Amino acid sequence: MTDEVQVRAERPRSESPVVIEGFPGIGLIGNIASQYVVNKLEMDYLGAIDSRFFPPISVLVGGVAHMPVRIYEKADLGVVVVSSDIPVHPAASYDLARGIVSWAESIGAREMVCLAGITVMGDQQRVFGAATNKEMLEKIRGEVEVFEFGTISGISGSVMNECLLRKMPAICLLGETHSMAPDPRAAVVTVKMLNNLYGLQVDTTDLEERAEEIELQMQKLADQVQSTSAEEVPGRRELQFPMYG
C-alpha cells in the first residue's frame, strides 16, 4: 500500500483467496464481468479502495452512494473481487497496482486474475490469456488462446508487472472485442472462462439477454466519467482520465 492509495476494507474470511480485478478498459469488459460476478454470487462487501488519483465521483445505485472502486468476497468459494466503475489514468496505474498487489499479499492471496479486453479484427468471441510464470500459463493453456506476443496496457498490465516483481502467480484474461464500445457479450465469454478455471458456476443468461441494455448503461456511465476533468482534482491537473489506458 502507498500513501497515494488506501485500501479500506475488512480482512477476508477466506484463506489464500484468488483475487480478481476488473477495471474499465477496452470494451469495459473488466468492470462489466467483475460486477456481474459480484451480483450473481451475491458477494459480501468488504470495503473500498480510495486514491487522490481518482476522479471525484460517487456512484449511485438506487439512490444510494457507493465508492467507485469496491472490494467483495465469496468466502465459501475463496474468491475476492476488486471491481471498479472508473478508469485509471496511466500515470496512476503504477501506484494503484502496487497498492492492490500489496494488499493481496497482506491477505495471503494465492494468485491474482486480471480481467481486460483485446481488440481483434474478426467475428469470433474468444478469450486470450497470459501469465506471470510457466506454471500459471500451463494452467490456462488449452482453455484460452495464449496471447503469445503483444502488450497488456493500463491497470491490468501494471498489476501483472507488480505480481511478476513480487513473484505472485497471476493470469490476465482478455475478452475479444471488435471496437472500443462497451461489449457485454465479450464479458459473457470472460465470465464463462472464470467458471471453467475456478468453478464459480456463474449463470450468464441474464448478461446475455440484457446485453443491449447494459451497453447503453455502461456507455452513459463512461461518458459521465470522461466528462469529469482533472481540474476538479487538486494537484492533479495533468491527469485527464481517458476512458482507455
Go through the domains of the chain in sequence order and give each one's CATH number: 5-209 (3.40.50.10900)
pLDDT band at 80 (very low <50, low <70, confident <90, very high): very high
Phi, psi of 82 (to 5 degrees): -105, 110
Strands 69-74 and 64-66: unpaired
For 121-161, write each residue's pLDDT tens digit. 877 889 999 999 999 999 999 999 999 999 999 999 999 99
Q: How many CB atoms lie within 10 A of CB 174?
A: 31
Please check whether residue 159 is in contact with residue 216, taking contact to mean a CB–CB distance below 8 angstroms: no
pLDDT at 123: 79
User: For the whole prediction, is pTM greater than 0.85?
Assistant: yes
For 182-235, write each residue's pLDDT tens digit. 899 999 999 999 999 999 999 999 998 888 787 777 667 667 666 664 444 444
Look at residue 48 and give its three-state secondary structure: strand
